[in-house]
């Protein structure tokens, strides 16, 4: 063993010595042989000749000896790399284009994959993440839905106190805290964490101490733990941050410590800046806090399963404890029917090693689609480089023939050519990693919206690096194998003769270049169709009539709870602010409401009417908004019939409502809704008054742009049924909405300096709801265009090469009297054949695959004819231009020059 290793190492590192020794050894043998022949009576010349014939190829023999040394592979690899770099350096422009297109392809793939990795695959950076289990709640009425993740505090406390099968169990809830004390809102990511949160996850403090069970007791004082990142950004990492105070929603909290770096919480896509104990909810809520509310769902619960406990055992233990916990936390004020269902709910353990994430539901499918898209782009880029390699290989025809004649084996030559390819792809991958870093950061910023900043830890892990390395090797082989095999299959005699005539004929029969271009056309068509579908969906969503006018509307959210304004003073204060805002210069009209369109908030309830066949079940559900008289005019939702609200619709006046067309049609099919009455479905013992319909408004989108119009009822904000401490002002402006922000701040400060204000525009809010659609449309269009460009470069290159090959043929044709345009036709016929073949294959492929996009589209079918025809049109037009340029060059061949050239 040792001997073997020593021998190999010597051949590797004392390469020159070993080589010269082999030379000397062989020369000695040669001389001995010559001497022997001379002794048997031959002349010196004859002896030399005979020995040479016996000896065969000197280099071949040396090659075989090298192989016997057992380090040939490594040695030739270094040789190949050196030689490959030289070859690539000889054509710097082509090599750069190749590396760049690969870098784009590999970079895009790595960027998308790193998002998939971070959002879906990566383990949480906590102790033994595989033991983590999230506890969710299954509703007996919807057994097939994903179990609900949220708990009420009584449910959480009951479960915590009754379980003994987790080695640790904890609850948390993400929220926003406002650091400002009045004026413009400064939101940070907050988290309620139960006392066992940090200890169960095994997170250590970076400074001070973390929240413990002792901090999480009813009536606790306000303590806060900072995340490492927030400590760095907000306190500059200062040691005296621990012991200082923070104002959260206008309540003072003592900072007790900082959590370890690299930990951002359990919800991938969100991070926490400040963590406070669960019991601190009392500080914000006052006496009727959510700590004892049995239908306030706000906590998430997870635990660490005991070592050795199987998921089945855990499930069984949770099954035993479920009825007890739900009985103990039963909401007393629910209807009997709902209570019965509540008691039948059960806990479900869900593995949580990778954390939880709302991003997964929203972006899993788009990310997979994008992965497919960038995969296709990479394949198209590879195809380009393959045809490039093919063209270059025929230029190196002679070199390869010479090397082969000198004794290089075909396997050795193929290895050399593949090494060049892998060199290219490695360079592409290295550059691609840079692109990926930049691209994935950009992507995360892109999917972040105004009030939902997506945070992802995008540091590379082994999985991403493996993926990139795999992509590099795969692409290198993909574009290298065909050219390598083809170009090493040379006929020595014809190559040495210096004529390629024989070769040209065989090329005409099978031209891989054409196949490559045709498949590029096909794949590009698929991408163009996909991007066309996404674009058209987005355009439809953006341009459709949503029932309100999103432009030039400033939205101002004011929170009087955080301003510590007593409940009875809030309505007059909201009125006062609205009046002041209405008179601001630049404000066309102003209003206030509880909801704004497409805001992610809903308020809904079942309605009851006294007509026969009244809607029941889901059809009885209506969506509410409470508005001031100016609202419909400000957001420009037209009033179709009846009256708007006015100052007479006070809290003590009879209850009235304006309803939209869908509600009117559903509950009053005879078209006589105006003047009729309905009731909101009442909880037992709390009768609801009848509400008269006084107006009819046009349908407007409520929750999302994709919805079928919801049945919507508007009520006067003065008649709001429960106190709403955060209300929204809408200002239609004559200028850029954001330009009005300082004036609004000043005006509100005139009423109270303590009111925190959150600004936005209606247009942004609508745009933010389309983030998924816009992501798909933008990226698929970008990559579709890139693919188109690559395919056209491929077509142009392949044709230029073909034209150069057939230059002599064209020259002869023209010399024999063929008109110039017949040459053009000859070349263009090739273009048309390749294009038509590619388009046909691409169209079939697209028809088969676009079905998976169905769910992502809006207002059109995946087989949308217009999209298909436009994609084919665009691709054909560009292909014909790309093909015409080399064809024109063929037409201009000077017959004399072409003939003399040979």
Partner 1 sequence: MAQKRIELPQGTLDLLILRTLALEPQHGWAISERIHQISSDVLLIQQGSLYPALHRLERRGWIKAKWGTSENNRRAKYYELTKTGRKQLELEKDSWKKLAAAVAQILETA
Residues that bind partner 1 (CB under 8 A): 3-4, 7-8, 21-22, 24-26, 28-29, 31-33, 35-36, 54-56, 60-61, 64-65, 67-70
- The least distance separating partner 1 from the CB of residue 35, rounded to whole angstroms, comes to 8
Q: Residue 120 has what DSSP assignment? A: I
The Cβ of residue 370 has, within 10 Å, a number of other Cβ atoms equal to 24
Burial of 393 (0-12, 13-18, 19+ CB in 10 A): buried
Q: Is the dihedral of CA 297, 300, 305, 309 positive or negative?
A: positive
Distance of CA 358 to the CA centre of its chain: 13
Residue 33 or 504: the one with the smaller Cβ distance to partner 1 is 33
**CB 516, min distance to partner 1, A:** 41
Least separation in angstroms between residue 21's CB and partner 1 is 7
Beta bridge partners of 605: 622
- Residues written for the chain: 902
| CB of 853 vs partner 1, minimal distance in Å | 60
Long-range contacts of 217-220 (CB under 8 A, 24+ apart): 217/279, 218/279, 218/282, 218/291, 219/279, 219/282, 220/277, 220/279, 220/280, 220/282
65/874 with CB nearer partner 1:
65
Output the six-digit token pair for 834: 């390749």
Tokens of residue 435, six digits: 């692109």
Q: Which residues touch 666 (CB under 8 Å, ≥6 apart)?
A: 615, 619, 711
**Minimum distance from residue 410 beta carbon to partner 1 (Å):** 18
C-beta of 21 vs 457, nearer to partner 1? 21
Which lies closer to partner 1 via its Cβ, residue 58 or residue 486?
58
**Beta-strand pair 691-697/150-151:** unpaired
Spatial distance between the Cα atoms of 850 and 185, rounded to a whole number of angstroms: 45
**What is the number of other CB atoms lying within 10 angstroms of the CB of residue 702?**
26
Give least dist CB 60 to partner 1, A: 7
28 or 78, CB closer to partner 1? 28
Residues forming a β-bridge with 348: 136
Closest approach of partner 1 to the CB of residue 793, in Å: 47
**Torsion, CA 821, CA 822, CA 824, CA 829, rounded to 10:** 140
- Token look-up 């949160």 returns 197
Spatial contact of 322 and 346, defined as CB atoms under 8 Å apart? yes
Contacts from 816-825 at CB under 8 Å and sequence distance 24+? 820/891, 820/892, 821/891, 823/890, 823/891, 823/893, 824/887, 824/888, 824/890, 824/891
Distance CA 512, CA 517 (A): 9
H/E element, 487: helix 462-487
Closest distance of CB 67 from partner 1, Å: 7
Q: Identify which of residues 29 and 44 has a Cβ nearer to partner 1 in the complex.
A: 29
Q: If we measure between CA atoms, which residue out of 282, 480, 248 comes closest to residue 382?
A: 480
Q: Least Å distance between CB 65 and partner 1? A: 5
Q: Of 67 and 148, which has the nearer Cβ to partner 1?
A: 67
Place of tokens 């009731």: 679
Could you tell me the smallest distance in angstroms from the CB atom of residue 24 to partner 1? 7
Q: Minimum distance from CB of 46 to partner 1 (Å)?
A: 13
Q: Which is nearer to partner 1, 49 or 360 (CB)?
A: 49
CB 357 within 8 A of CB 119: yes
Radius of gyration of the chain (CA): 38
Please enumerate in sequence order all residues whose Cβ is within 8 A of that of 279, keeping only pairs 6 or more positions apart, or say none: 215, 216, 217, 218, 219, 220, 291
Cβ at position 416, least distance to partner 1 in Å:
22
Please return the burial class of 786, using the count of CB atoms within 10 Å of its CB with bins 0-12, 13-18 and 19+: buried
Task: Give whichever of 8 and 453 is closer to partner 1, judged by the CB atom.
Answer: 8
Report the C-alpha gap between 760 and 763 in whole angstroms.
9
Query: Is the CB of 67 or the CB of 285 nearer to partner 1?
Result: 67
The crossing angle, in degrees rounded to 10, of helices 92-116 and 771-805 is 150
How far CA 52 is from CA of 45, 49, 408, in Å, comes to 11, 5, 19
Structure tokens at 664: 């009117």
Quick one: 383 exposed, middle or buried, by C-beta within 10 A (0-12, 13-18, 19+)? buried
Per 3-state DSSP, what percentage of the chain is helix, strand, and coil (rounded to 5)? 55, 15, 30
In this complex, which beta carbon is closest to partner 1, that of residue 40 or of residue 332?
40
Instruction: Please check whether residue 582 is in contact with residue 621, taking contact to mean a CB–CB distance below 8 angstroms.
Output: no
The first and second tokens of residue 7, run together, are 């021998």
Closest distance of CB 68 from partner 1, Å: 4
What's the closest the beta carbon of residue 55 comes to partner 1, in angstroms? Answer: 6
Task: CB nearer to partner 1: give 54 or 672.
Answer: 54
Tell me the three-class secondary structure of 2-22, residue by residue. Answer: HHHHHHHHHHHHCHHHHHHHH
Q: In angstroms, what is the minimal distance from the CB of 76 to partner 1?
A: 16
**Cβ contact 225:210 at 8 Å:** yes
Of 20 and 646, the one with the shorter C-beta distance to partner 1 is: 20
Shortest Å distance, C-beta 20 to partner 1: 12
What is residue 566's three-state secondary structure?
Answer: coil
Q: Nearer to partner 1 by C-beta: 24 or 96?
A: 24
As a whole number of angstroms, the distance between CA 387 and CA 899 comes to 27
């Amino acid at each position: 063993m040792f001997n073997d290793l020593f021998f190999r190492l010597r051949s590797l590192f004392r390469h020159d010595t070993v080589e010269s020794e082999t030379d000397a050894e062989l020369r000695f043998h040669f001389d001995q042989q010559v001497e022997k022949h001379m002794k048997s009576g031959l002349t010196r010349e004859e002896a030399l000749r005979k020995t040479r014939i016996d000896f065969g190829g000197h280099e071949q023999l040396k090659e075989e000896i090298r192989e016997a040394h057992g380090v040939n592979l490594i040695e030739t690899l270094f040789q190949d790399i050196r030689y490959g770099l030289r070859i690539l350096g000889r054509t710097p422009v082509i090599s750069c284009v190749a590396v760049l297109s690969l870098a784009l392809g590999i970079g895009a793939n790595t960027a998308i994959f790193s998002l998939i990795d971070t959002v879906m695959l990566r383990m949480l950076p906590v102790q033994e993440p595989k033991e983590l289990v999230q506890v969710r709640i299954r509703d007996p009425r919807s057994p097939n839905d994903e179990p609900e993740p949220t708990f009420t505090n009584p449910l959480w406390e009951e479960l915590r106190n009754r379980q003994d099968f987790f080695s640790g169990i904890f609850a948390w809830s993400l929220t926003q805290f406002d650091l400002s004390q009045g004026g413009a809102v400064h939101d940070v990511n907050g988290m309620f964490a139960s006392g066992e949160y940090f200890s169960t996850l095994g997170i250590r403090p970076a400074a001070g101490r973390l929240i413990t069970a002792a901090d999480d007791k009813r009536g606790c004082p306000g303590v806060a733990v900072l995340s490492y990142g927030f400590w760095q950004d907000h306190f500059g990492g200062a040691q005296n941050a621990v012991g200082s105070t923070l104002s959260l929603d206008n309540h003072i909290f003592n900072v007790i410590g900082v959590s370890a770096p690299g930990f951002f919480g359990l919800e991938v896509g969100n991070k926490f800046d400040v963590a406070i104990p669960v019991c601190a909810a009392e500080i914000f809520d006052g006496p009727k806090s959510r700590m004892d509310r049995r239908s306030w769902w706000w906590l998430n619960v997870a635990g660490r399963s005991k070592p050795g406990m199987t998921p089945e055992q855990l499930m069984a233990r949770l099954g035993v404890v479920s009825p007890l916990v739900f009985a103990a936390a039963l909401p007393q004020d629910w209807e009997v029917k709902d209570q019965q269902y509540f008691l039948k709910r059960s806990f479900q353990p869900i593995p949580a090693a990778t954390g939880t994430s709302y991003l997964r539901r929203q972006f899993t499918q788009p990310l997979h689609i994008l992965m497919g898209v960038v995969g296709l782009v990479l394949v198209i880029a590879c195809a380009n480089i393959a045809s490039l390699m093919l063209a270059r290989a025929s230029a190196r025809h002679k070199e390869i023939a010479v090397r082969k004649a000198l004794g290089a084996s075909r396997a050795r030559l193929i290895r050399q050519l593949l090494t060049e390819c892998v060199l290219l792809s490695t360079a592409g991958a290295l550059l691609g990693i840079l692109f990926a870093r930049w691209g994935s950061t950009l992507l995360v910023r892109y999917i972040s919206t105004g009030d939902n900043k997506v945070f992802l830890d995008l540091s590379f892990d082994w999985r991403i690096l493996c993926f990139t390395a795999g992509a590099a090797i795969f692409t290198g082989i993909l574009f290298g194998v065909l050219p390598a095999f083809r170009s090493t299959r040379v006929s020595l005699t014809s190559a040495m003769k210096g004529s390629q005539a024989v070769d040209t004929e065989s090329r005409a029969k099978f031209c891989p270049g054409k196949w490559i271009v045709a498949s590029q056309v096909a794949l590009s068509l698929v991408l163009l169709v996909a991007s066309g579908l996404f674009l058209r969906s987005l355009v439809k969503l953006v341009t459709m009539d949503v029932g309100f006018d999103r432009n030039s509307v400033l939205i101002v959210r004011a929170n009087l709870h955080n301003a510590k304004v007593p409940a009875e003073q809030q309505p007059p204060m909201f009125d006062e602010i609205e009046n002041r805002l209405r008179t601001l210069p630049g404000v066309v009209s102003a209003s206030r409401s509880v909801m704004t369109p497409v805001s992610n908030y809903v308020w809904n309830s079942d309605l009851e009417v006294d007509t026969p066949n009244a809607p029941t079940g889901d059809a009885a559900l209506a969506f509410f908004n409470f508005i001031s008289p100016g609202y419909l005019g400000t957001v420009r939702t037209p009033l179709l019939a009846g009256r708007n609200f006015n100052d007479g619709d006070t809290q003590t006046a009879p209850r009235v409502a304006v309803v939209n067309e869908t509600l009117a049609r559903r509950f009053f099919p005879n078209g006589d809704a105006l003047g009729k009455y309905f009731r909101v479905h009442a909880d037992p013992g709390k009768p609801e008054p009848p509400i008269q319909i006084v107006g009819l408004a046009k349908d407007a989108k409520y929750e999302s742009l994709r919805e079928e119009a919801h049945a919507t009822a508007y009520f006067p904000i003065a008649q709001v049924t429960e106190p709403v401490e955060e209300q929204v002002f809408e200002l239609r402006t004559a200028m850029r909405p954001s330009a009005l922000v300082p004036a609004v701040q000043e005006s509100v400060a005139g009423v109270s300096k303590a009111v925190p204000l959150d600004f936005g525009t209606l247009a942004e809010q609508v745009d933010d709801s389309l983030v998924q659609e816009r992501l798909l449309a933008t990226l698929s269009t970008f990559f579709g265009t890139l693919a188109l460009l690559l395919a056209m470069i491929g077509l142009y290159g392949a044709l230029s090469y073909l034209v150069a090959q057939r230059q002599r043929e064209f020259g002869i044709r023209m010399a024999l009297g063929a008109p110039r345009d017949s040459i053009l036709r000859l070349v263009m016929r090739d273009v048309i054949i390749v294009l038509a073949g590619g388009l046909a294959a691409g169209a079939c492929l697209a028809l088969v695959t676009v079905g998976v996009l169905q769910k992502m589209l809006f207002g059109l079918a995946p087989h949308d004819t217009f999209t298909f025809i436009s994609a084919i049109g665009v691709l054909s037009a560009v292909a014909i231009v790309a093909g015409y340029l080399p064809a024109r060059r063929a037409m201009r061949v000077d017959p004399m020059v072409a003939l003399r050239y040979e």
